[in-house]
Homo-oligomer: A and B are copies of this chain.
Amino acid sequence: MIVILKPNPNQAQLDSLIAWLEEKQIQIHKSVGTSRTILGLVGDTAAIDANLINALDIVEDVKRVQEPYKHANREFHPEDTVVSVGGVQIGGGSFAMIAGPCTVESEAQIIAIARQVKETGADILRGGAFKPRTSPYAYQGLGAEGIALLKAARQETGLPIAAEITETAQLPLFADVDLIQIGARNMQNFALLKALGTQEKPVMLLRGRDASYEEWLMSAEYIMSSGNPNVILCEGGIRTFEPSARNLLDLTAIPILRRLTHLPIIADPSHAVSRAWLVPQIAPAAVAAGADGLSLEVHHDPEHAVMDGPQSVNPETFAAIAKRARALHAYLADA
C-alpha cells in the first residue's frame, strides 16, 4: 500500500498514523520527493482499511499495490480452481449447464423438469425453495419441502442439485444440497457468508447488482477465509438507468475477473434479462466472453403455467441453447 501525503503534513498527525501502522506490524518506507512525501507500507496490509487512511487530513491519496483479497487472488494461486459439484467439475476449461425452475412447485413438476433438462443437456438441477421476493405479499416458496422435492428429483435423475439459501438458520436443510447459491441481495450478508465458510458444500455467489468487482471478490474471501475454498462466482447483472431490462448482464466482468481470480465464473442470463426471448440471444455472448457455464431458468409446461413461463425458457429452447452453447465453447477452445 502506498500513502501519498499532502504537502507539509501536520507532524503530530503523521506520527500518530505511523505509530498506529507500526502497532499493526506494518513496515514503513518513506520517500521524500520535491513536492510530496510518500509512505510505502510493507506487511499484511489486507487488514488495513484504505478508505480510513484516505480520509485523514494529512493524506492526499492511498493506493493499494496488492489486491486486498488473498484466497481468491490469482496472483497467489495461478491455476484455475475446479469445483466439484456432486461430481460435476466446474472451472478449468470445462463447461457446465445449470438448469431448472425459478420455483419448485410440486414433485411432479420438479421431476418432469429434471428429466427434461437432463436429457437435453443439463449437468446440475437448480430450483428455488426459499424465494427472496421484493414484496412480502408475493409467494415465498415451498421452503423445506422444496428442498426435499429437489432431493427426490436428484434420486430420480442422478443430477446434482442447487438451491438458494436465504438465512443461516436454514443451513441444516442444505447439508445434502450439492451447490448452495447466495442470491444478489445477500452478497454482502456477511453472517451468512461466514456460515457458508464453515461447511464444505460448494457455494455459488451471485454478484450484488450494485457490487464492484472488488466487493464481489471480498465476499468470496469471506467464505474462503472461513475455511471453504469451493466458491463459484455468478454474474447476474447490475443495476443501471436503462428501464427495458431488469439488470444489465456485465460480460466484461468475465475476462476481468478471470485475470483477478482463479475461481470459476458462471453467467446467469435469466436473472439479468427477465424475458425469455432474450435468453437464447445473449447466452452465446456469455459463452464467448469466457464463462465456465450458464445457469438458466427452465419451465416444464409453459402452456398451462401463466406465471413461470415468461421469465423461463421452455425445455425445447433450453435444449437448443445448451447444444449451441456447448458447441460454441468447444469451437472457441479449438479456434
Contact = CB atoms under 8 A, between A and B. Distances in A.
Interface of A: 2, 4, 12-13, 16-17, 19-20, 29, 31, 33-36, 38, 40, 42, 46-47, 49, 51-52, 54-57, 60-61, 63, 65, 68, 132-138, 166-169, 185-186, 188-192, 194, 208-210, 212-213, 215, 218, 221-222, 225-226, 238-246, 248-252, 254-256, 258, 272-276, 278, 281-282, 284-290, 303-304, 306-307, 309-311, 324, 327-328, 331-332, 335
Contact of A138 (B47, B289, B303, B309): B47
A188 B251 CA distance: 25
B212 A55 contact: no
Please give the count of copies of this chain that the complex contains. 4
Contact of A244 (B47, B188, B213, B324): B213
Contact of A56 (B13, B192, B255, B309): B309
6 contacts: A31-B31, A137-B225, A168-B168, A245-B256, A248-B250, A256-B278
Interface of chain A, main secondary structure:
mixed
A252 B282 CA distance: 6
A105 to B, nearest CB: 13
B287 A288 contact: yes
Contacts of A255: 278, 281-282
A285 B289 contact: yes
B273 A252 contact: yes
Contact of A137 (B46, B63, B215): B46
Nearest to A131: B190
Nearest to A249: B252
